[in-house]
Structure 1
Amino acid sequence: MALFPFIDCHHAFYLPVGDGHQLYVEESGNPDGVPVVVLHGGPGGGSSPVQRRFFDPREFRIILLDQRGAGQSRPLAETRNNTTMHLVADLEAVRAYLGIDRWLLFGGSWGVTLGLAYAVAHPSRVLGMVLRGVFLCRQQDMDWLYTASGAARLFPREWKAVNAPVAAFPGNLLERYAEGLAGPQAREFARHWCNWEAVLAGMSPLPAGPGGDDELCMATQEVHYFRHQGFLEQPLLDACAGIVLPVEIIHGDRDFVCPMDQAETLHEILPNSVLTKVAGGAHSASHPAIADALVEAVKRIHKRVMA
């Protein structure tokens, strides 16, 4: 992969944002470079040091943060006072605290959803966007993931495996996992939940057992958000139509978490967007072909916003 070498962060801190939440934030790269904020997936996915490697540290001021209830943010896996509008307000709080006027958004999967919601709410604060593995959070997109008529048809054995642990609970898959995750075996249910997504993302599932903090965050937050249609005030496509910010979209044609039609549909309504379809590319940013495409997209967006 053509990723940049690992670099250490030079500034890490917790930012209180109200309601008992504290965001974990870190900076690396050039303090005088183009600011870029990385929006992780999930919800609940958390940030990772590898996410710095998509950016030339000589050119970019790289900001990683863990969204409410995710990663190293506090409290762990908290869903109270945790909606998309809270996350958008948190981004504004981080931007203002760091003294940044405008920044680039770099988001994948749920990070695309959040990035678009932020750009709609605060267009004057956005230089441009790099979006990977587009997730629009429509009902049809959630049906693809969590009903028998979607990805379950491609992975029937794994679909059976994610349903089996919650078979005794009533309701749809999201409702059944909400009940399981609220009980004493939450970490076991979290492992099963995350294994389903891992399979769709082209990764190997883990053996049954209690999930770690990252799995608990991911499962709890995803179920919380997707039971409420992502807490979106209006459909993203309607809200985004006509946005003229420069946008680079990267999407793999083997992405079984977010099928290609989501990227194509978003590209059609954003007049200043470029869609790169990655042959053989899966959902994860760590997939070699996707990672290479992201590095090139970051280079292109840098040229576009600096022109």
Structure 2
Amino acid sequence: MTRTLILGGTGWLGREIAEQLVANGDDVTCLARGESGAVPSGVTFIRSDRRTPDAYVLVAGIAWDEIIELAYEADLVTGALEALADCAQHWTLVSSVSVYASNAEAGADEEAVVVEAVDFDDYAQAKVAAERVTTEAVGDHLLIARPGLIVGPGDTSDRFSYWVARLALASHEAVLLPEVRDRSVQFIDVRDLAAWLIGAGHRGLTGIYNAVGSERDLSTVLLAAAQVAGHTGNLISVDDEWLIEHSVNYWAGRRSLPLWLPRSDSAFAQRSRDRFVAAGGTERNLHEVLEDVLADERKRGLDRERRSGLTREEENLLLDEIARQLASV
């Protein structure tokens, strides 16, 4: 039986890792504040504020087969390393492809240049700093996983789930799309990522891996989402300039079209996954992911308030403006 400590475990990815480990029969402990979500069933849960002096007193000195670090904030990462680096046979740090300095080179691998870690309030720079300090403390039994966009049931970012939910909500009505020509999207299902992290830890895998899915045409993904959603309305695609002029944002956040990237950053969704696949990385069928996400979205409400995307009212106003411009030509 493998003894695993997850630093976190009540958030989305951490909970998925914990639940899969428990299902495998492993001994799992989660150390967290417990404010990100429900505590997974079957784990030993230690409620702790990692910024307090005695945060790790109940887990230090134990011989852990695996420690999984999900945080990136400098004080959390360094505090855990100071208390626990000598306790783990294997250490996994979940980082991000956001660490790379350039998103202009399609197919770039793990050797690509990363950003300078100067401002630890910046997400990418903080991730780089976390990688470096963990490498120094843990040495040659460290796995660094750099996922890109993580998707699947339970996602609260709305970056991927927006589309299948919106298409289902619109039903026979029109939906606004960005220009999809020559645009890519790259994602990994949270369940596949968790399974790979667990297997890699059990095998003692070390090194740096882009834990990403296949590069897919954005048009293919959106058409598959429309099929899964049963959408029968028109798909209205407009160019980048028009969207920007009308205050629609790229990628994520309020008043955005999720997954839509500036062409200058297109390689963000074109990272090499060769090393990941060689190390056993897999991905499930696109339609299966979309069907599971849609089922989850229906439970949570297709018309709920979202962290990313356009509201249906905002979208309809933009569609009306497009119709007026076309009528005046």
TM-score tier (shorter): 0.3 to 0.5
Structure showing greater Rg? 2
The normalised TM-score by structure 2 is 0.32
